[in-house]
Amino acid sequence: MTSAQESSIYDQVERDDDVVRVLGTDGSLDSQHDPGLSAEEAVHLYRHMLLTRMIDERLVTLQRQGRIGFHIGSLGEEAAIIGSAYAMRKQDWLFPCYREFGAALLRGMPLQRYVDNMFGNANDPVKGRQMPDHYTCKAAQFGSVSSPIGTQITQAVGFAWAAKIQKKDLVTLAYFGEGATSSNEFHNGLNFAGVFKTPTVFLCRNNGWAISVPTERQTATRTFAEKGIAYGIPSLRVDGNDLFAVIAVTRDAVRRASQGEGPTLIEAITYRMGGHSTSDDPTRYRDKTLLDPWHERDPLTRIKRYLDKQGLFTDAEEQKLKAEIDARLKDAVEIAEKTPAPALESLFEDVYEKLSWNLREQRDELLAGPRAPSAHH
């Protein structure tokens, strides 16, 4: 994409209220905003999207078998997550919601460490102190996942503000669902980012549902993108199931931020094909027929049709890849299940450089084992 094309994306969308789209559902390509991926890049990203989809399927099965306690997936939202992560530069930081494990893996988080987190074992990046799908990976420039809605928005803004003060060439990406736009963190984060022009990209995954709350019950505005305008932040909507379009608009947002032009709000229109999590039953509040049009818009199907048209990835190659991923997942799960739980003393690590006397006493008492009941009880 040329610089002239890049600089025109936001202006055009503001005028015409378009949804940026590059790939048709049939895999055809619209060259207007084509990010210009090479054949190798397109195949590489499809492989990661398929990995993400197969991880989701495997973890749901493990949870149903009682082998892990919880999983919150990204079924149907892979293009929005993988595409935006790919558009970020190596030095940039990502601040996730809780569906972005595919982005962490794309950025370099080892698959084994992610699976370890699902089991909360001794090799879990957060040492079993959090629920599954709550992790971090400093080496991948990937912040901590936390459950409270919207906290990552202000974290991303603060990190970007610090980088701007230090004159570092660094951009942050904040992921969140449309439900988070109703949080205080959304207002605080976007207001601060707009005023101080922090180098932040806000990516709102509008997947239609905030647990059981549909989009029309979440806001009175026609779109979520227009909320950014109130904060003086250029905003647009993109087809969140279109890998190429997501890459194009995110790259443009990164370019703007890195050149001192401030933040951008991207509303990625997608759909949550599964439940909110493995603890949720969407059939209690969502008619199954609502899924029908989204099956045709499936992000993996769309990019696969493109690869087929270009002769870049055969069905035989796909079956081979699925077998490879299946074997990797089987090995990772087997290792994670055999790894012991974190040691008890690890409860006292990672907060203080040197333990205080009272914490040392508590640790020693815990390690000594249970005491006999007192005569006073």
Q: Please state the length of the chain.
A: 377
Catalytic member of 89, 285, 295, 360: 285
Q: How far apart are CA 243 and CA 233, in angstroms?
A: 23
Beta bridge partners of 179: none
Tell how strand 213-214 and strand 209-210 pair up.
Answer: antiparallel
The label of the residue with tokens 């980012």 reads: 193
The residue from 272, 297, 302, 306 that is catalytic is: 272
Alpha-carbon gap, residue 234 to 215, rounded angstroms: 22
End-to-end, the C-alpha distance of the chain in Å comes to 75
Catalytic site includes residue 272: yes
Q: Which of 21, 276, 297, 302 is catalytic?
A: 276
Q: Using alpha carbons, select from 45, 84, 85 the residue that is nearest to residue 266.
A: 84
**Residue 71 corresponds to which tokens in the numbers above?**
């999983």
Judge whether 285 counts as a catalytic residue: yes
Cα–Cα nearest to 235, from 212, 258, 207, 204:
204
The burial of 258, by beta-carbon neighbours within 10 Å (0-12 exposed, 13-18 middle, 19 or more buried), is given as middle
Active site residues: 272, 276, 285
